[in-house]
Every structure is written in C-alpha cells, then in structure tokens.
Amino acid sequence: MTNFLEKWSSRKSDKPKTGTRSAVDAFRVRVAEQKACLAEFEADAAGFNKWRSTWFQRVPGGFGVTIGRDAIDAGQGLNYVVVETIAQVAEFLDDLLQHADSDVSFQTALEENRARRAELLNSAKAKTKAPATKAAARKPATAKATEAKPASDRTEADKPKRGRKARV
C-alpha cells in the first residue's frame, strides 16, 4: 500500500470542476463525438444503433443534420440541413466546427444556450428540493391528549372473536 501512495501521491490534484470548459470547447467536444458516431456508422451502417445520440438521421433523400439537440442556430435561422451523402454530413460538421471557432455571434449563441440550459437545470433542481424543505419547515406534529377509556369488566376470553361470517 505504501508503494502505491508513494507512486501516485506526487500526481494528486483536485478534480476538475464542472462547467470550467467554455461553451465553445464543449461544442467542439460534442462535434468530435458526432464525428466518431459518423465514423462508426460508415463502418457498419446496418449494425449502427446510436441514432438517439446523433445529430444526423436518415431522412427521405439522404440525411438530416441538426446543430445539436438545442434551440441554437448557425445564423439566420439555420439549424437543420438535409444532405445526400455521409461525406456531406462530415463536411457540414467540419464547417460547423470552423464556424464555432471563428464566428463571434455563434459563440455568443452557444454561451446563451449554455446559460439557458443551466437555468432550466437549476430551476428543476430547486423544484425537486422544495418539497423536502417545505416538509422540514412545517411545525412538528403535536401529540393530542386522549381520554383513557374505562376498562371493561370482561376479560380477553370473554370477548367475542372476530371471524368469518357464516354462509347462508
């Protein structure tokens, strides 16, 4: 165990915090994931089963490609195209990546989209936490004093037993 600690203690560091990557960097990573999915589709189109994770889908006449699952566009409302071949899907992703690197308005749209999604996530978290805090904020239940019933003169053996009703 000591050897393990000696070996790895010099490399110890803090975990990276979520959200430290810029929206453009995160978008680059997502485009890289899409390219990996596209390469996997090219290798085995019949066995490809990650359609829910892709920005491209088969449509009549080729492939429909969207800019993520978010409500962002690449300018002038462009957020979905239909292309004929896989090579055009790859070309669109490359152009999209270049657009994300050089277009300031697109970078701003990515940042705004990230802020909108973070706000939605935080409000959803607040809604799920709200019932727990409301329950904790309530007054504790108070025990009500009840009058003791007078003890009956019967013993346990004298009381009638509950049972099934007789069939008629």
Structural domain contains residue 146 = no
> Rg of the Cα trace of the chain?
32
Domain that holds residue 99: 19-124
Residue 107 near residue 100, CB atoms below 8 Å: yes
Residue 134 has a pLDDT of 55
Structural domain contains residue 153 = no
Structural domain contains residue 42 = yes
- Residue 32: pLDDT above 90? yes
Burial 107-132 (b: 16+ CB within 10 A, else e): bebbeebbeeeeeeeeeeeeeeeeee
Q: What is the pLDDT of residues 102-153, one digit of tens each?
A: 888 888 888 888 888 888 888 888 887 766 555 555 555 555 555 555 555 5
As a whole-number percent, the residues of the chain with pLDDT over 70 amount to: 70
Structural domain contains residue 105 = yes
Structural domain contains residue 85 = yes
- Residue 8: pLDDT above 80? no
Structural domain contains residue 164 = no
Structural domain contains residue 103 = yes
Nearest to 107 by CA among 12, 166, 24: 24
Q: Is the dihedral of CA 68, 72, 73, 74 positive or negative?
A: negative
The amino acid at residue 167 is R
Q: What is the pLDDT of residues 62-74, one digit of tens each?
A: 898 888 766 677 7
- Residue 37: pLDDT above 90? yes
Number of compact structural domains in the chain: 1
In order, the DSSP letters of 44-67 are -TTT---GGG-SEEEETTEEEEES
Residue 36 has a pLDDT of 94
pLDDT band for 40, please (50, 70, 90 cuts).
very high
Structural domain contains residue 33 = yes
Quickly count: other Cβ atoms within 10 Å of residue 63's Cβ. 21
Residue 142 has a pLDDT of 54
